Amino acid sequence: MKEETLLSAHPVSDEMRATVLENLAELEQRHQVTVLFACESGSRGWGFASPDSDYDVRFVYVNRLPWYLTVDPGRDVIEQPISGELDINGWDLRKALQLLRESNPTLLEWLRSPIVYSQATPWAGRLRVLAEEGFSPVRGYHHYVSMAKKNLREHLYGEVVRYKKYLYVLRPLLAARWIREGRGVPPMRFAELAAQTLTDTALIDEVNALLEVKMRAGEAATSPRWVGIHDFIERELAIAMAHTLDKGPKADGRQLDQYLHDAVLYFDAQS
């Protein structure tokens, strides 16, 4: 199945990209940090944004050396109040590496985002390699199956359903299938994920129809239940919940420690 058989779009205008970079530069100055990597998360990164979707900017940053040398740890996140359509927040590198050690799927998705606002070379590339090498199929699988089950229960049992909620169940279910088939870290782009895991032409056509209307409608738009998609979700979730994976490798803590050491010293020297 070719990837282009499924609709996908990642709309970020040059003006918005410039606005994001201005905000990141202001955060760097205000908090005395360096942004190591910044990307788009959420529906724009997945490829099915609505016209009124927020810009979900996520980043990993490095503090100055003294921040890491205190007895009491400092705050390890930077969160901006949502301003208009811009939602920006990030994690300190040590926090990110702790989450990477546990194969955190959210961080893995950030590192695979098709929309990258900024990245420090070669540091972002090294971080991606560490994430891939330490990926735990068990943790990733449990995360995606639990997410699909939760979103199905909370959002898809009414007679009227928000379009995007179908995708919020389909995406983790297909990511779980990807892992179950032994393919490693799932791609972030929904079109790539679906094109390589779905083979039922009728289902693909219905998913494409859902994507088309979702990408034209507002975030809150609703419709009656999509029967074919709903039936597939019920069947796929049952299969996913009945499957057990063998444990995979855990990220090498020594490599993560070395990366943190090298990055902090490097960026501190550049400040």
* 109 close to 45: Cβ distance less than 8 angstroms: yes
The per-residue pLDDT for range 195-211, each reduced to its tens digit, is 999 999 999 999 999 99
Check pLDDT > 60 for residue 76: yes
Q: Which of 23, 94, 83, 87 is nearest to 61 (CA)?
A: 94
Angle, nearest 10°, between helix axes 227-242 and 201-216? 110
Whole-angstrom distance, CA of residue 101 vs CA of residue 134: 7
Q: Which of 56-65, 134-143, 259-268 has the lowest mean pLDDT?
A: 134-143
Distance CA 70, CA 62 (A): 15
The token duo for 123 is: 């540091």
Contact 259, 131 (CB under 8 A): no
Instruction: Return d(Cα 16, Cα 158) in angstroms, integer.
Output: 36
**How many angstroms separate the CA atoms of 143 and 147, rounded?**
6
Q: Give backbone dihedrals phi and psi of 8, rounded to 5 degrees, phi first.
A: -160, 140
Q: Which tokens hold the place of 65?
A: 């050396």
**For the chain, what percent of residues have pLDDT higher than 90?**
84
The percent of residues above 70 in pLDDT, for the chain, comes to: 97
Q: Could you report the per-residue pLDDT of 247-260, keeping only the tens digit for each?
A: 766 667 899 999 99
The reported pLDDT for the residue numbered 3 is: 45
**Sequence ranges of the domains in the chain:** 10-134+251-270, 137-242
Stretch 143-172: mean pLDDT, rounded?
93
61, β-bridge pairs: 35, 92
Neighbouring C-alpha atoms within 13 Å toward the C-beta of 258: 7
Please state the rounded mean pLDDT for residues 213-219: 90
Q: Which two tokens stand for residue 154?
A: 């909370």
pTM of the complete model beyond 0.85: yes
The confidence score (pLDDT) of residue 1 equals 38
Residue 127 has pLDDT above 60, yes or no: yes
69-77 long-range contacts (CB < 8 A, ≥24 apart) are none
Quick one: three-class SS letters along 160-219? EEEHHHHHHHHHHHHHHHHHHCCCCCCCCCHHHHHHCCCCCHHHHHHHHHHHHHHHHCCC
Distance CA 85, CA 66 (A): 34
pLDDT at 47: 95
Fold of the domain spanning 10-134+251-270: Beta Polymerase; domain 2 (3.30.460)
